[in-house]
Amino acid sequence: MVFYANRTCLSSCRRFVVPIALITACLWANPGSPASATPMRWDIISLDFTTAPVTISAGGNATAHADDGPSDPEQVGIAKGGAKLTLTGSGFFDTDGIGPTTGGGTWETFSAPDENGEVVSSGSGEYTVTDLLYWTPAPGQINPGLNDTIGNIGDTRAGLALFAVDFDDGSAGNVYISCRLRGGEILTPDGVFEGQIANKDFITYSLFEAPIAGVDANRTLFHVIPEPSTMTLALCLLPVIGLVRRMRRN
């Protein structure tokens, strides 16, 4: 049996298809997360110590070492003489793990130093974050006087995130991003490390390279992403309301 739609009905329906599509797109662009979820950004950060105040930006690097060399008692977390993995990166996730998890960066591996102390790059490329496996916030406050070019300084957070990643050479692994903040009244506990540790296939780079004062390396940061305000959503809907009114006149 064939049904024929009424032309009047089709004409009326067309008037609502475009507005409904636009409203849907507007809401999709400004999603409201569940009450239990908080949208976050993570970064391996860069610090510019030549500015006053010190400037925080994306694009830093962090290194972790494999436990295949003698330990260095002068710096907790380093395996002197071990192979190492250096990462850059940033991305986004929801704290409940339900929302999209995105991000990635570059990677480079280095062999253990030879008898002359020389190291050789053993591979490099890009990696992509595929999933959030774990997240927990930690207490801690950043120095509020720093110049934060990534987000609002008041939205910074300490914590620990674990991501599943794919490397572009066909290998897979996991990356821990850990951030401790000790620049305010609330200090992150000593047991929280600053930097990254990771595994790439069967090699585990489990010894983080700790940051050194005045050196731009081995630092991370989390930011809470503010939810869109009611005013932002209203401004988004204004063009849709105008379009509906014009279509009704026609």
Boundaries of every domain in the chain: 7-30+231-249, 39-227
pLDDT at 28: 46
Mean of the per-residue pLDDT values of the chain? 82
Binned at pLDDT 50, 70 and 90, residue 30 comes out as very low
Q: Using the 8-state DSSP alphabet, how is residue 117 labeled?
A: S
Q: What is the largest CA-CA distance in the chain?
A: 86
**Least confident span in 10-14, 137-141, 161-165, 243-247:** 10-14
Task: Report d(CA 159, CA 136) in Å as an integer.
Answer: 6
Q: Is the pLDDT of residue 88 over 50?
A: yes
pLDDT at 249: 64
Task: Report d(CA 126, CA 107) in Å as an integer.
Answer: 6
Task: Report d(CA 177, CA 193) in Å as an integer.
Answer: 9
Task: Report d(CA 34, CA 228) in Å as an integer.
Answer: 13
Task: Report d(CA 44, CA 107) in Å as an integer.
Answer: 12
Q: Is the pLDDT of residue 208 over 80?
A: yes
Calculate ∠ Cα 211-131-61, nearest 5°.
20
Give, rounded to a whole angstrom, the gap between the first and last alpha carbons of the chain: 34
How many C-beta atoms lie closer than 10 Å to residue 7's C-beta? 8
Contacts 24+ apart (CB under 8 A), 229-238: 232/30, 233/26, 233/27, 233/30, 236/26, 236/29, 236/30, 237/23, 237/26
**Mean pLDDT across the stretch 205-219?**
96
pLDDT at 114: 80
Task: Report d(CA 11, CA 66) in Å as an integer.
Answer: 68
Q: Is the pLDDT of residue 78 over 60?
A: no
